Structure 1
Amino acid sequence: MVDDAMTTLSVVIPARNEAENIVTLVRQIDTALSHHTPFEIIVVDDGSSDNSIDVLETCMQTMPHLRVLRHERSGGQSAAVHSGVLAARAPIICTLDGDGQNPPEELPKLAEVLLKDEQGRVGLVAGQRVGRQDTLSKRLASRFANGLRAWILQDSTRDTGCGLKAFRRAAFLRLPYFDHMHRYLPALFARDGWETAHVDVSHKPRVAGRSNYSNLQRGLVGIVDLAGVAWLLRRRKKVRPRETAK
Protein backbone atom coordinates (compact mmCIF):
# COMPACT_ATOMS: atom_id res chain seq x y z
CA MET A 1 0.00 0.00 0.00
CA VAL A 2 1.30 3.46 -0.92
CA ASP A 3 1.54 6.10 1.82
CA ASP A 4 -0.70 9.01 0.74
CA ALA A 5 1.58 11.59 2.38
CA MET A 6 4.68 10.25 0.64
CA THR A 7 3.26 9.91 -2.87
CA THR A 8 4.43 12.78 -5.06
CA LEU A 9 3.73 11.32 -8.52
CA SER A 10 0.65 9.52 -9.84
CA VAL A 11 0.64 7.85 -13.25
CA VAL A 12 -2.85 7.63 -14.75
CA ILE A 13 -3.53 5.22 -17.62
CA PRO A 14 -6.89 5.27 -19.44
CA ALA A 15 -7.46 1.85 -21.02
CA ARG A 16 -10.22 0.00 -22.82
CA ASN A 17 -9.87 -3.58 -24.09
CA GLU A 18 -6.09 -3.54 -23.67
CA ALA A 19 -5.70 -6.88 -21.85
CA GLU A 20 -2.92 -7.90 -24.23
CA ASN A 21 -0.92 -4.73 -23.56
CA ILE A 22 -1.71 -3.41 -20.09
CA VAL A 23 0.32 -5.72 -17.83
CA THR A 24 3.49 -5.27 -19.88
CA LEU A 25 2.91 -1.50 -19.85
CA VAL A 26 2.40 -1.36 -16.08
CA ARG A 27 5.58 -3.35 -15.47
CA GLN A 28 7.53 -1.10 -17.83
CA ILE A 29 6.28 1.96 -15.91
CA ASP A 30 7.36 0.35 -12.65
CA THR A 31 10.85 -0.16 -14.06
CA ALA A 32 11.05 3.34 -15.58
CA LEU A 33 10.18 4.98 -12.24
CA SER A 34 12.03 2.57 -9.93
CA HIS A 35 14.65 5.20 -9.04
CA HIS A 36 12.18 8.07 -9.04
CA THR A 37 10.16 9.80 -6.36
CA PRO A 38 7.49 7.70 -4.52
CA PHE A 39 4.76 7.01 -7.06
CA GLU A 40 1.54 5.16 -7.71
CA ILE A 41 0.06 3.73 -10.92
CA ILE A 42 -3.67 4.09 -11.54
CA VAL A 43 -5.25 2.16 -14.41
CA VAL A 44 -8.76 3.32 -15.26
CA ASP A 45 -10.55 0.55 -17.14
CA ASP A 46 -13.10 2.30 -19.33
CA GLY A 47 -15.79 -0.36 -19.59
CA SER A 48 -13.64 -3.09 -21.18
CA SER A 49 -15.37 -6.18 -22.57
CA ASP A 50 -12.20 -8.30 -22.50
CA ASN A 51 -10.38 -9.75 -19.46
CA SER A 52 -8.47 -6.56 -18.60
CA ILE A 53 -9.73 -6.53 -15.00
CA ASP A 54 -8.69 -10.15 -14.43
CA VAL A 55 -5.11 -9.62 -15.59
CA LEU A 56 -4.83 -6.36 -13.65
CA GLU A 57 -6.09 -7.95 -10.43
CA THR A 58 -3.41 -10.61 -10.80
CA CYS A 59 -0.80 -7.91 -11.34
CA MET A 60 -1.94 -6.04 -8.22
CA GLN A 61 -0.92 -8.98 -6.05
CA THR A 62 2.76 -8.25 -6.69
CA MET A 63 2.53 -4.47 -7.16
CA PRO A 64 1.17 -2.74 -4.03
CA HIS A 65 1.38 0.71 -5.66
CA LEU A 66 -0.91 -0.34 -8.53
CA ARG A 67 -4.54 0.78 -8.24
CA VAL A 68 -7.36 -0.14 -10.62
CA LEU A 69 -10.57 1.83 -11.18
CA ARG A 70 -13.38 0.69 -13.43
CA HIS A 71 -16.12 2.42 -15.39
CA GLU A 72 -19.10 0.11 -15.72
CA ARG A 73 -19.59 1.47 -19.25
CA SER A 74 -17.27 3.33 -21.56
CA GLY A 75 -17.12 7.08 -21.02
CA GLY A 76 -14.17 7.84 -23.29
CA GLN A 77 -10.53 8.73 -22.74
CA SER A 78 -11.12 12.11 -21.10
CA ALA A 79 -13.60 10.59 -18.64
CA ALA A 80 -11.08 7.90 -17.73
CA VAL A 81 -8.28 10.41 -17.21
CA HIS A 82 -10.56 12.63 -15.12
CA SER A 83 -11.61 9.70 -12.90
CA GLY A 84 -7.97 8.75 -12.41
CA VAL A 85 -6.90 12.29 -11.51
CA LEU A 86 -9.76 12.62 -9.00
CA ALA A 87 -8.60 9.42 -7.30
CA ALA A 88 -4.88 10.28 -7.43
CA ARG A 89 -2.98 10.94 -4.21
CA ALA A 90 -0.12 12.97 -5.67
CA PRO A 91 0.07 16.67 -6.63
CA ILE A 92 1.73 15.84 -9.96
CA ILE A 93 0.09 13.59 -12.55
CA CYS A 94 1.59 11.83 -15.55
CA THR A 95 -0.58 10.22 -18.22
CA LEU A 96 0.04 7.85 -21.09
CA ASP A 97 -2.14 5.71 -23.33
CA GLY A 98 -2.92 2.11 -22.44
CA ASP A 99 -2.03 0.70 -25.87
CA GLY A 100 1.73 0.58 -25.22
CA GLN A 101 2.64 3.09 -27.93
CA ASN A 102 3.84 5.73 -25.43
CA PRO A 103 7.24 4.57 -24.05
CA PRO A 104 7.18 4.65 -20.20
CA GLU A 105 10.88 5.57 -20.11
CA GLU A 106 9.81 9.07 -21.19
CA LEU A 107 7.84 9.63 -17.95
CA PRO A 108 10.72 10.83 -15.72
CA LYS A 109 11.63 13.43 -18.34
CA LEU A 110 8.12 14.90 -18.22
CA ALA A 111 7.74 14.83 -14.45
CA GLU A 112 11.14 16.44 -13.93
CA VAL A 113 10.03 19.66 -15.62
CA LEU A 114 7.32 20.19 -13.00
CA LEU A 115 9.37 18.95 -10.07
CA LYS A 116 12.10 21.47 -10.92
CA ASP A 117 9.75 24.38 -11.66
CA GLU A 118 10.61 26.44 -8.58
CA GLN A 119 8.58 29.46 -9.73
CA GLY A 120 5.46 27.37 -10.25
CA ARG A 121 4.61 28.80 -13.66
CA VAL A 122 4.39 25.58 -15.67
CA GLY A 123 1.07 23.81 -15.33
CA LEU A 124 1.36 21.32 -18.18
CA VAL A 125 4.18 19.39 -19.84
CA ALA A 126 3.04 18.13 -23.25
CA GLY A 127 4.80 15.29 -25.00
CA GLN A 128 5.34 15.78 -28.75
CA ARG A 129 5.72 12.54 -30.70
CA VAL A 130 8.80 12.20 -32.90
CA GLY A 131 8.97 9.38 -35.46
CA ARG A 132 5.31 8.49 -35.00
CA GLN A 133 4.60 4.79 -35.59
CA ASP A 134 1.06 4.90 -37.00
CA THR A 135 -0.55 4.28 -40.36
CA LEU A 136 -0.15 6.95 -43.05
CA SER A 137 -3.87 7.78 -42.98
CA LYS A 138 -3.78 8.28 -39.22
CA ARG A 139 -0.71 10.49 -39.41
CA LEU A 140 -2.19 12.64 -42.18
CA ALA A 141 -5.52 13.02 -40.36
CA SER A 142 -3.68 13.97 -37.18
CA ARG A 143 -1.49 16.49 -38.99
CA PHE A 144 -4.54 18.20 -40.48
CA ALA A 145 -6.43 18.25 -37.16
CA ASN A 146 -3.42 19.57 -35.24
CA GLY A 147 -2.82 22.28 -37.81
CA LEU A 148 -6.44 23.44 -37.76
CA ARG A 149 -6.58 23.40 -33.96
CA ALA A 150 -3.31 25.32 -33.58
CA TRP A 151 -4.47 27.94 -36.09
CA ILE A 152 -7.80 28.54 -34.34
CA LEU A 153 -6.73 28.24 -30.70
CA GLN A 154 -3.17 29.56 -31.02
CA ASP A 155 -1.97 27.02 -28.43
CA SER A 156 1.57 26.70 -29.87
CA THR A 157 1.41 22.89 -29.69
CA ARG A 158 1.98 20.65 -32.69
CA ASP A 159 0.70 17.37 -31.20
CA THR A 160 -2.05 17.60 -28.57
CA GLY A 161 -3.07 13.98 -29.23
CA CYS A 162 0.04 12.56 -27.58
CA GLY A 163 -0.97 10.64 -24.45
CA LEU A 164 2.30 11.42 -22.68
CA LYS A 165 1.61 14.44 -20.48
CA ALA A 166 2.39 15.71 -16.99
CA PHE A 167 0.43 18.35 -15.12
CA ARG A 168 -0.46 19.74 -11.71
CA ARG A 169 -3.44 17.89 -10.29
CA ALA A 170 -5.03 20.94 -8.65
CA ALA A 171 -4.78 23.00 -11.85
CA PHE A 172 -6.26 20.20 -13.98
CA LEU A 173 -9.27 19.79 -11.69
CA ARG A 174 -10.07 23.50 -12.05
CA LEU A 175 -10.41 23.15 -15.83
CA PRO A 176 -13.89 22.88 -17.32
CA TYR A 177 -14.59 19.19 -17.94
CA PHE A 178 -16.05 17.93 -21.22
CA ASP A 179 -15.64 14.76 -23.27
CA HIS A 180 -12.46 14.80 -25.39
CA MET A 181 -10.95 17.62 -23.33
CA HIS A 182 -7.62 15.72 -23.29
CA ARG A 183 -6.93 16.98 -26.81
CA TYR A 184 -7.19 20.63 -25.78
CA LEU A 185 -5.17 20.75 -22.55
CA PRO A 186 -2.55 23.30 -23.75
CA ALA A 187 -5.28 25.82 -24.62
CA LEU A 188 -7.25 25.11 -21.44
CA PHE A 189 -4.20 25.48 -19.18
CA ALA A 190 -3.24 28.72 -20.96
CA ARG A 191 -6.79 29.97 -20.40
CA ASP A 192 -6.13 29.75 -16.66
CA GLY A 193 -2.78 31.52 -16.89
CA TRP A 194 -0.44 28.50 -16.88
CA GLU A 195 2.57 27.95 -19.11
CA THR A 196 2.97 24.77 -21.16
CA ALA A 197 6.37 23.14 -21.64
CA HIS A 198 6.89 20.92 -24.70
CA VAL A 199 9.08 17.82 -24.65
CA ASP A 200 9.88 15.60 -27.64
CA VAL A 201 9.09 11.94 -26.95
CA SER A 202 9.47 8.72 -28.91
CA HIS A 203 6.63 6.55 -30.15
CA LYS A 204 6.20 2.80 -30.62
CA PRO A 205 3.99 0.74 -32.94
CA ARG A 206 0.98 -1.05 -31.48
CA VAL A 207 1.88 -4.72 -30.97
CA ALA A 208 -1.53 -6.10 -29.96
CA GLY A 209 -5.20 -5.14 -30.01
CA ARG A 210 -6.70 -2.38 -32.11
CA SER A 211 -7.49 1.30 -31.81
CA ASN A 212 -10.79 2.32 -30.20
CA TYR A 213 -11.19 5.28 -32.58
CA SER A 214 -11.45 5.84 -36.33
CA ASN A 215 -10.33 8.90 -38.27
CA LEU A 216 -13.97 9.69 -39.11
CA GLN A 217 -15.03 9.53 -35.46
CA ARG A 218 -12.23 11.85 -34.40
CA GLY A 219 -12.98 14.30 -37.20
CA LEU A 220 -16.72 14.64 -36.60
CA VAL A 221 -16.35 15.04 -32.84
CA GLY A 222 -13.38 17.35 -33.26
CA ILE A 223 -15.35 19.96 -35.23
CA VAL A 224 -17.86 20.43 -32.40
CA ASP A 225 -15.19 20.35 -29.69
CA LEU A 226 -13.01 22.91 -31.44
CA ALA A 227 -15.86 25.38 -31.65
CA GLY A 228 -16.67 24.81 -27.98
CA VAL A 229 -13.09 25.33 -26.81
CA ALA A 230 -12.77 28.51 -28.89
CA TRP A 231 -15.92 29.79 -27.11
CA LEU A 232 -14.46 28.87 -23.69
CA LEU A 233 -11.27 30.78 -24.45
CA ARG A 234 -13.22 33.91 -25.39
CA ARG A 235 -15.34 33.66 -22.24
CA ARG A 236 -12.45 33.19 -19.82
CA LYS A 237 -12.23 35.31 -16.67
CA LYS A 238 -10.13 38.32 -17.64
CA VAL A 239 -9.58 39.92 -14.22
CA ARG A 240 -7.96 38.59 -11.08
CA PRO A 241 -8.22 39.98 -7.54
CA ARG A 242 -5.30 41.47 -5.64
CA GLU A 243 -5.45 41.54 -1.87
CA THR A 244 -4.68 44.91 -0.35
CA ALA A 245 -2.20 45.21 2.51
CA LYS A 246 -3.49 45.90 6.00
Structure 2
Amino acid sequence: MVTVSIVIPAKNEAENIETLLDGIDAACAAHGDYEVIVVDDGSDDDTAGVVNRRMDSHPNLRLLRHDRSGGQSAAVHSGVLAASGSIVCTLDGDGQNPPEELPKLFAPLLAEGSDAIGIVAGQRVGRQDTVSKKLASRFANAIRSWALKDGTRDTGCGLKAFRRDGFLRLPFFNHMHRYLPALFARDGWQVAHVDVSHRPRGAGRSNYSNLQRGFVGMIDLVGVMWLLRRRKLARPTEAAAKKG
Protein backbone atom coordinates (compact mmCIF):
# COMPACT_ATOMS: atom_id res chain seq x y z
CA MET A 1 0.00 0.00 0.00
CA VAL A 2 1.31 3.45 -0.93
CA THR A 3 2.13 5.59 2.10
CA VAL A 4 3.85 8.58 0.47
CA SER A 5 2.87 10.31 -2.76
CA ILE A 6 5.44 12.65 -4.33
CA VAL A 7 3.85 15.34 -6.48
CA ILE A 8 5.91 17.29 -9.01
CA PRO A 9 4.36 20.31 -10.76
CA ALA A 10 6.21 20.69 -14.06
CA LYS A 11 5.96 23.08 -16.99
CA ASN A 12 8.45 22.77 -19.85
CA GLU A 13 10.93 20.70 -17.84
CA ALA A 14 11.74 18.03 -20.44
CA GLU A 15 15.47 18.60 -19.95
CA ASN A 16 15.30 18.29 -16.16
CA ILE A 17 12.55 15.83 -15.29
CA GLU A 18 14.30 12.49 -15.93
CA THR A 19 17.33 13.39 -13.81
CA LEU A 20 14.95 14.51 -11.06
CA LEU A 21 12.98 11.25 -11.21
CA ASP A 22 16.24 9.24 -11.01
CA GLY A 23 17.15 11.20 -7.89
CA ILE A 24 13.76 10.58 -6.28
CA ASP A 25 14.04 6.82 -6.83
CA ALA A 26 17.54 6.77 -5.35
CA ALA A 27 16.46 8.79 -2.30
CA CYS A 28 13.19 6.97 -1.54
CA ALA A 29 13.82 3.34 -2.51
CA ALA A 30 14.69 2.36 1.07
CA HIS A 31 11.67 4.06 2.65
CA GLY A 32 8.78 1.77 1.75
CA ASP A 33 6.13 2.02 -0.95
CA TYR A 34 5.77 5.39 -2.65
CA GLU A 35 4.39 6.80 -5.88
CA VAL A 36 5.50 9.73 -8.00
CA ILE A 37 2.93 11.91 -9.76
CA VAL A 38 4.16 14.36 -12.38
CA VAL A 39 1.59 17.03 -13.19
CA ASP A 40 2.36 18.47 -16.63
CA ASP A 41 0.98 21.99 -16.37
CA GLY A 42 0.29 22.75 -20.03
CA SER A 43 3.86 22.21 -21.30
CA ASP A 44 4.61 22.82 -24.96
CA ASP A 45 7.83 20.76 -24.91
CA ASP A 46 8.35 17.00 -24.45
CA THR A 47 7.89 16.89 -20.65
CA ALA A 48 4.89 14.55 -20.93
CA GLY A 49 6.66 12.38 -23.49
CA VAL A 50 9.72 11.88 -21.27
CA VAL A 51 7.53 10.85 -18.33
CA ASN A 52 5.27 8.64 -20.44
CA ARG A 53 8.17 6.66 -21.90
CA ARG A 54 9.56 6.09 -18.41
CA MET A 55 6.28 4.76 -17.03
CA ASP A 56 6.73 1.38 -18.77
CA SER A 57 9.69 0.55 -16.52
CA HIS A 58 8.53 2.45 -13.42
CA PRO A 59 5.06 1.24 -12.34
CA ASN A 60 4.94 3.68 -9.41
CA LEU A 61 5.18 6.66 -11.79
CA ARG A 62 2.00 8.46 -12.86
CA LEU A 63 1.36 11.36 -15.24
CA LEU A 64 -1.41 13.95 -15.09
CA ARG A 65 -1.78 16.57 -17.81
CA HIS A 66 -3.52 19.94 -17.61
CA ASP A 67 -5.22 21.03 -20.81
CA ARG A 68 -3.83 24.53 -20.17
CA SER A 69 -1.34 26.08 -17.78
CA GLY A 70 -3.03 26.64 -14.42
CA GLY A 71 0.01 27.54 -12.31
CA GLN A 72 1.93 25.74 -9.60
CA SER A 73 -0.84 25.67 -7.01
CA ALA A 74 -3.32 24.22 -9.50
CA ALA A 75 -0.80 21.53 -10.45
CA VAL A 76 -0.13 20.65 -6.80
CA HIS A 77 -3.88 20.54 -6.11
CA SER A 78 -4.51 18.19 -9.05
CA GLY A 79 -1.70 15.94 -7.88
CA VAL A 80 -2.96 15.80 -4.29
CA LEU A 81 -6.48 14.98 -5.44
CA ALA A 82 -5.12 12.03 -7.43
CA ALA A 83 -2.66 10.87 -4.75
CA SER A 84 -3.03 7.45 -3.12
CA GLY A 85 -0.81 8.14 -0.12
CA SER A 86 -1.91 9.74 3.15
CA ILE A 87 1.31 11.80 3.12
CA VAL A 88 2.12 14.03 0.14
CA CYS A 89 5.52 15.52 -0.65
CA THR A 90 6.07 18.24 -3.22
CA LEU A 91 9.16 19.53 -5.00
CA ASP A 92 9.73 21.69 -8.05
CA GLY A 93 10.25 20.13 -11.47
CA ASP A 94 13.31 22.24 -12.35
CA GLY A 95 15.72 20.18 -10.24
CA GLN A 96 16.61 22.99 -7.84
CA ASN A 97 15.08 21.07 -4.89
CA PRO A 98 17.45 18.12 -4.23
CA PRO A 99 15.35 14.92 -4.03
CA GLU A 100 17.65 13.43 -1.39
CA GLU A 101 16.04 15.87 1.05
CA LEU A 102 12.64 14.14 0.74
CA PRO A 103 13.07 11.64 3.61
CA LYS A 104 13.81 14.54 5.99
CA LEU A 105 10.38 15.91 5.12
CA PHE A 106 8.12 12.88 5.30
CA ALA A 107 9.84 11.08 8.20
CA PRO A 108 8.46 13.42 10.92
CA LEU A 109 4.91 12.82 9.67
CA LEU A 110 5.32 9.04 9.84
CA ALA A 111 6.90 9.02 13.31
CA GLU A 112 4.93 7.70 16.27
CA GLY A 113 3.10 10.48 18.12
CA SER A 114 3.20 12.91 15.18
CA ASP A 115 -0.56 13.12 14.63
CA ALA A 116 -0.68 16.83 15.53
CA ILE A 117 1.84 17.81 12.82
CA GLY A 118 0.09 18.81 9.60
CA ILE A 119 2.98 20.01 7.47
CA VAL A 120 6.78 19.90 7.38
CA ALA A 121 8.08 22.85 5.39
CA GLY A 122 11.55 22.96 3.86
CA GLN A 123 13.57 26.15 4.27
CA ARG A 124 16.41 26.67 1.80
CA VAL A 125 19.96 27.36 2.91
CA GLY A 126 22.67 28.40 0.45
CA ARG A 127 20.20 29.36 -2.28
CA GLN A 128 21.53 28.98 -5.82
CA ASP A 129 19.62 31.83 -7.46
CA THR A 130 20.40 35.23 -8.93
CA VAL A 131 21.04 38.09 -6.52
CA SER A 132 17.85 39.88 -7.66
CA LYS A 133 15.74 36.76 -7.09
CA LYS A 134 17.21 36.18 -3.63
CA LEU A 135 16.67 39.81 -2.60
CA ALA A 136 13.08 39.80 -3.89
CA SER A 137 12.37 36.55 -2.04
CA ARG A 138 13.93 37.84 1.18
CA PHE A 139 11.80 40.98 1.05
CA ALA A 140 8.60 39.05 0.28
CA ASN A 141 9.24 36.55 3.05
CA ALA A 142 9.88 39.32 5.57
CA ILE A 143 6.58 41.05 4.72
CA ARG A 144 4.67 37.77 4.77
CA SER A 145 6.16 36.66 8.07
CA TRP A 146 5.34 40.01 9.67
CA ALA A 147 1.76 39.94 8.40
CA LEU A 148 0.89 36.28 9.02
CA LYS A 149 3.07 35.39 12.01
CA ASP A 150 3.50 31.90 10.53
CA GLY A 151 7.02 31.31 11.87
CA THR A 152 8.27 30.32 8.40
CA ARG A 153 11.47 31.82 7.03
CA ASP A 154 11.13 30.58 3.44
CA THR A 155 7.58 29.77 2.43
CA GLY A 156 8.48 29.74 -1.28
CA CYS A 157 10.53 26.55 -0.98
CA GLY A 158 8.97 23.82 -3.11
CA LEU A 159 10.04 21.04 -0.73
CA LYS A 160 7.11 20.33 1.58
CA ALA A 161 5.39 17.31 3.10
CA PHE A 162 1.87 17.36 4.49
CA ARG A 163 -1.16 15.28 5.34
CA ARG A 164 -3.38 14.79 2.30
CA ASP A 165 -6.65 15.04 4.24
CA GLY A 166 -5.54 18.27 5.92
CA PHE A 167 -4.54 19.83 2.58
CA LEU A 168 -7.84 18.97 0.93
CA ARG A 169 -9.74 20.80 3.68
CA LEU A 170 -7.87 24.03 2.94
CA PRO A 171 -9.51 26.71 0.74
CA PHE A 172 -8.05 26.52 -2.76
CA PHE A 173 -6.83 29.63 -4.58
CA ASN A 174 -4.07 30.40 -7.05
CA HIS A 175 -0.62 30.70 -5.41
CA MET A 176 -1.83 29.00 -2.22
CA HIS A 177 1.32 26.84 -2.24
CA ARG A 178 3.26 29.82 -0.88
CA TYR A 179 1.01 30.07 2.17
CA LEU A 180 0.62 26.44 3.24
CA PRO A 181 2.24 26.78 6.70
CA ALA A 182 -0.12 29.66 7.63
CA LEU A 183 -3.13 27.81 6.21
CA PHE A 184 -2.35 24.57 8.06
CA ALA A 185 -1.82 26.52 11.29
CA ARG A 186 -5.16 28.26 10.69
CA ASP A 187 -6.84 24.83 10.86
CA GLY A 188 -5.16 23.93 14.13
CA TRP A 189 -2.23 21.84 12.85
CA GLN A 190 1.32 22.07 14.14
CA VAL A 191 3.90 23.26 11.59
CA ALA A 192 7.43 21.81 11.54
CA HIS A 193 10.44 23.12 9.61
CA VAL A 194 13.62 21.52 8.25
CA ASP A 195 16.58 23.17 6.54
CA VAL A 196 17.17 21.87 3.02
CA SER A 197 19.84 22.45 0.40
CA HIS A 198 19.33 24.07 -3.00
CA ARG A 199 20.79 23.67 -6.48
CA PRO A 200 21.15 25.79 -9.61
CA ARG A 201 18.51 25.17 -12.27
CA GLY A 202 19.69 22.39 -14.57
CA ALA A 203 18.29 23.71 -17.87
CA GLY A 204 15.65 26.09 -19.21
CA ARG A 205 14.40 29.15 -17.38
CA SER A 206 11.89 30.13 -14.72
CA ASN A 207 8.30 30.65 -15.84
CA TYR A 208 7.78 33.66 -13.54
CA SER A 209 9.58 36.99 -13.13
CA ASN A 210 10.27 38.76 -9.84
CA LEU A 211 7.77 41.48 -10.82
CA GLN A 212 5.01 38.91 -11.45
CA ARG A 213 5.69 37.20 -8.12
CA GLY A 214 5.67 40.49 -6.26
CA PHE A 215 2.44 41.76 -7.80
CA VAL A 216 0.37 38.64 -7.19
CA GLY A 217 2.05 38.12 -3.82
CA MET A 218 0.73 41.36 -2.35
CA ILE A 219 -2.82 40.59 -3.50
CA ASP A 220 -2.63 37.04 -2.14
CA LEU A 221 -1.22 38.22 1.17
CA VAL A 222 -4.25 40.42 1.78
CA GLY A 223 -6.52 37.50 0.91
CA VAL A 224 -4.73 35.09 3.27
CA MET A 225 -4.87 37.65 6.09
CA TRP A 226 -8.64 37.77 5.52
CA LEU A 227 -8.89 33.95 5.60
CA LEU A 228 -6.96 33.77 8.87
CA ARG A 229 -9.29 36.29 10.49
CA ARG A 230 -12.37 34.38 9.26
CA ARG A 231 -11.23 30.94 10.40
CA LYS A 232 -13.65 28.58 12.10
CA LEU A 233 -13.12 28.77 15.86
CA ALA A 234 -15.64 26.18 17.06
CA ARG A 235 -14.38 22.58 17.31
CA PRO A 236 -16.98 19.77 17.43
CA THR A 237 -16.88 16.72 19.68
CA GLU A 238 -19.33 13.89 19.23
CA ALA A 239 -21.38 12.90 22.27
CA ALA A 240 -21.72 9.22 23.07
CA ALA A 241 -25.22 7.78 23.36
CA LYS A 242 -26.45 7.25 26.90
CA LYS A 243 -26.82 3.61 27.90
CA GLY A 244 -29.95 2.38 29.61
Q: 1:110 aligns with which of 105, 111, 127?
A: 105
1:40 has 2:32 as partner: no
State the Cα distance separating 1:239 from its structure 2 match: 1.2
Per-residue CA deviations over 1:78-127 (Å, capped at 9, x if unaligned) read 00000000000000000000000000000011110100052411000000
1:182 has 2:160 as partner: no
Identity over aligned pairs, percent: 71
State the Cα distance separating 1:57 from its structure 2 match: 1.1
State the Cα distance separating 1:202 from its structure 2 match: 0.3
2:146 alignment counterpart: 151
Q: Aligned in 2, Cα 1:53/1:156: closer, same or farther, shift over 3 Å?
A: same
CA distance in 1, matches of 2:70, 2:112: 33
CA distance in 2, matches of 1:75, 1:101: 21
Which of structure 1's runs of 4+ aligned residues deviate more than 4 A?
none
Q: TM-score, normalised by structure 1?
A: 0.96
Aligned-partner SS, 1:11: strand
CA distance in 1, matches of 2:202, 2:7: 21
State the Cα distance separating 1:244 from its structure 2 match: 3.2
Q: Which residue identity lines up with residue 8 of structure 1 in the other structure?
A: T
Aligned-partner SS, 1:12: strand
Q: Which residue identity lines up with residue 108 of structure 1 in the other structure?
A: P
1:18 alignment counterpart: 13
Q: TM-score, normalised by structure 2?
A: 0.97
2:224 alignment counterpart: 229
Gaps of 5+ in 2: none
Gaps of 5+ in 1: 1-5
1:216 alignment counterpart: 211
1:83 alignment counterpart: 78
Q: 1:196 aligns with which of 191, 202, 209?
A: 191
Q: Which residue identity lines up with residue 189 of structure 2 in the other structure?
A: W
CA distance in 2, matches of 1:132, 1:172: 27
Q: Aligned in 2, Cα 1:151/1:171: closer, same or farther, shift over 3 Å?
A: same
What RMSD over aligned residues (CA atoms) do the two structures have, in Å?
0.8
Aligned-partner SS, 2:181: helix
Which 10-residue stretch deviates more, 165-174 or 50-59? 50-59
1:138 alignment counterpart: 133
CA distance in 2, matches of 1:149, 1:105: 28
